[in-house]
Structure 1
Amino acid sequence: MASIACIPSVPSPGNATGLRERARGALLGLAVGDALGAPAENLKPSEIRARWGRITGYVSQNPAGTDDTEYAIFSGLLLARHGSALTPSHVEAAWHEWIADRDEGPFRGAGFSERGTLENLRRGLAAPISAQHRHAWSDGLAMRAAPFGVFAAGRPAEAARLAAVDGSVSHDGEGIYGGQAVAAGVAAAMAGAPTVAVVASALAVVPDDSWTARSLRRAVAVAHRGERAVRSAVVIGGYPWTDLAPEAVALAFGAYAAADGDFRDAVLTAVNMGRDADTTAAVAGALAGATQGISAIPAEWGSAIGPARGSCLPAMAGHHVLDVADLLVPGGGMAAPELAPNMLVREDSPLPDPTAFTLSTNDEPEPSR
């Protein structure tokens, strides 16, 4: 990875064809990472090695995306419907329309933050009160934030703003920051920014003294030493759950930085670190896929990803991440009939200046929580 002492600016997005290839790379990369990481979720590296050695490809018979992919599709379709005019009311209405008000039995395969959000929505609570539950700091927003970076290519601040609007229904505090970091990083990568500028763009949109920023800085500072160092720098030892947004987002960016944006290396690094491996690999895959484009995704990995099965969100069944990617870029494809016209209304907003700060490497380790 390049030196982090001097952060280059985020370039302007390329032409429509280039954006489409990066958009497809970002969302297919997310789904591939999700499917690769799902079997390793909640495992330690030692447990992964005992079962499979080092994971170098799919280890399940029928690889598929989990709730991470289906929620990214959910947010992508919502964004395609409303564009930059997205409001918390739009997001809340979509949660009711596509999830909460459906008679579909148990809410399968979702994390604690999604379950808590649904309980609150079904009790009649509205955003931001609907996000007041015990897991508002989870990585549930981070896992679905990549579409905002795809839509706001080259505009990390706008991507972060939209991610926060989406997250207002389900997350708060560090949970919002994690989603904003992912969205901004993908937005920078969509414009062809180098790895160091992608990381800088993520840090530029979250509070400097937040747990998310501190963890992300630590992960990137040791990324050159490999996955064990990244994991040791940010994992909260002894905590029983693996969905902490500051931890998961830092692991994903650490994997991406360790690989210097290379898709295969970034995703496999995230997978083999364990913890919330489907989410960390999905985020690393989105970042690297946006950086390198869809051609960087191994064909045998990409071809295994079909339309969403609806295993978590039945309303998302049949939607493919590539179709969603096409909806989010100019000239990428036609809107689905059920989506509103004029959905891709863009607003100009200034890019954050990544040269205005440096990535500190002097943070003390976060105490175990």
Structure 2
Amino acid sequence: MNSSTTPAPPGTAPHDRARGALLGLAVGDALGAPAENLTPEEIRARWGRVEDFVLDAPAGTDDTEYTIFSALLLAQHGHALTPAHVEAAWRTRIADGAEGPFRGAGFSERGTVENLRRGLTAPQSAQHRHAWSDGLAMRAAPFGVFAAGDPAEAARLIAIDGSVSHDGEGIHGGRAVAAAVAVAVAGGDLDACVAAALAAVPADSWTARTLARTVTAVREARRTADTGTARGREEVERAVLRAAVVRGYPWTDLAPEAVGLAFGALAACDGRFRPTVLTAVNMGRDADTTAAVAGAVAGALAGTAGIPAAWAAAIGPVSGSCLAWVKGRHILDVADALVAARPATDRVADRSAR
């Protein structure tokens, strides 16, 4: 990794970085959705190398809609957020409102809803087979936006949000992402983001080991690979995959893997937005989440100006296909709401950082 990460334009305000974080998440989600659960070989067979949207009508998935869901809850309660607030929102806006089989998202969300419907409460509601999924990491960026400059607080808040749905490594994945975004929105560089992510989780955790291993793998691969060529890029991507992927595991949504792949993509491209999210997409696996996480950090590093205009323009209000309650919300409006919800003392700090 190179500490000379391409910075946002001079004068980029934390508010614009906040918008970049959530817009970057939504763009990464939409870019990665068609490649979800594919291998790099399958991606190449279908599209060569993904360099742009491959669908005529690109759209985000549950990653974007659950991000909006959690962000609006955070904007409502701020630093006073409690597990009771999160559980009540899941019950009234998801579990109690859905009829028939739940189709709102991935395995961790399904397990959580089933537990809530059985009468379990947090943290027992998170005791299911997929508590270590990347479903919390995918919705962690708003907590870094809200707690910009305070990665420990961002990590604390996302753990509260995750108490209803995740446990163990699932929580660690969310904490790592939230902390990294908090540093990026405040103007930190990629090295500082990686350091914050590692500091937010136990050093002996699977998440920390995988994150550190992928960043190291990138550094070692770049010593010999010519990353200016397609072959060189593929060599680096293979190194990241070897460092992060648990071969033989039946699902691709394991939090340590997804977080490792996302930070591997960031390290491989020095946090530059376009190559970072495309690297995440072309590695496959849980590509929508991996690209969403990488896109959130890269978007916060770059601000909105660093996100290709055509990609940004393709992101509209969400359809509510996963969560009817968020239908019609736009990710940029949500970013604005989070910034407006920050205490006045935090906003003063923002202005002094400009």
TM-score, normalization: structure 2? 0.89
Question: Against the structure 1 CA distance between its residues 301 and 218, is the aligned structure 2 distance closer, same or farther, given a 3 Å change threshold?
Answer: same
The structure 2 residue matched to 1:119, chosen from 106, 114, 123, is 114
Distance 1:175 1:239 in 2: 16
Instruction: Give the letter aligned to residue 261 of structure 1.
Output: G
CA contact (8 A) 1:215 1:246 kept: yes
What's 1:186 paired with?
A: 181
What's 1:89 paired with?
A: 84
Q: Where do 4+ consecutive residues of structure 1 move more than 2 Å?
A: 1-4, 103-109, 343-348
CA contact (8 A) 2:3 2:189 kept: no
Cα displacement string for residues 27-51 of structure 1 (whole angstroms, at most 9, x for unaligned residues): 0100000000000000000000000
What's 2:218 paired with?
A: 223
Q: In the alignment, does 2:149 pair up with 1:139?
A: no
Q: In the alignment, does 2:297 pair up with 1:302?
A: no
- 1:42-57 alignment, distance < 5 Å: 42-57=37-52
Instruction: Give the letter aligned to residue 85 of structure 2.
Output: H
Distance 2:291 2:91 in 1: 29
CA contact (8 A) 2:26 2:64 kept: yes
- 1:1-369 alignment, distance < 5 Å: 1-2=1-2, 18-224=13-219, 225=221, 226-330=236-340, 343-345=341-343
Distance 2:95 2:344 in 1: 29
Q: Percent identity?
A: 72
Number of equivalences: 326
What's 1:10 paired with?
A: none
Q: Which runs of 5+ in 1 are unaligned?
A: 5-13, 331-342, 349-369
Q: Tell me the CA shift for residue 104 of structure 1.
A: 4.3
Distance 1:39 1:274 in 2: 10
Distance 1:18 1:109 in 2: 35
Question: Against the structure 1 CA distance between its residues 3 and 285, is the aligned structure 2 distance closer, same or farther, given a 3 Å change threshold?
Answer: closer
What's 2:229 paired with?
A: none
Task: Looking at secondary structure, tell me which structure has more helix per residue.
Answer: 2
Q: Tell me the CA shift for residue 345 of structure 1.
A: 3.8
Instruction: Give the letter aligned to residue 242 of structure 1.
Output: T
Cα displacement string for residues 79-136 of structure 1 (whole angstroms, at most 9, x for unaligned residues): 0000000000000011012111114444325111000000011111110000000000
Cα displacement string for residues 117-161 of structure 1 (whole angstroms, at most 9, x for unaligned residues): 000111111100000000000000000000000000011000000
Instruction: Give the letter aligned to residue 214 of structure 2.
Output: A
CA contact (8 A) 1:82 1:344 kept: no
Q: Tell me the CA shift for residue 346 of structure 1.
A: 7.2
CA contact (8 A) 1:84 1:346 kept: no
CA contact (8 A) 1:23 1:190 kept: yes
Instruction: Give the letter aligned to residue 2 of structure 2.
Output: A
Q: Tell me the CA shift for residue 347 of structure 1.
A: 8.2
The farther-off stretch of 104-113 and 22-31 is 104-113
Distance 1:38 1:145 in 2: 18
Instruction: Give the letter aligned to residue 180 of structure 1.
Output: R
Q: Tell me the CA shift for residue 240 of structure 1.
A: 1.6
Q: Which runs of 5+ in 2 are unaligned?
A: 5-9, 222-235, 347-354
Distance 1:105 1:122 in 2: 12
Q: Tell me the CA shift for residue 182 of structure 1.
A: 0.3
TM-score, normalization: structure 1? 0.86
CA contact (8 A) 1:174 1:210 kept: yes
Distance 2:110 2:264 in 1: 28
SS of equivalent to 1:318: coil
Distance 1:45 1:121 in 2: 37
RMSD: 1.6
The farther-off stretch of 175-184 and 187-196 is 187-196
The farther-off stretch of 100-109 and 254-263 is 100-109
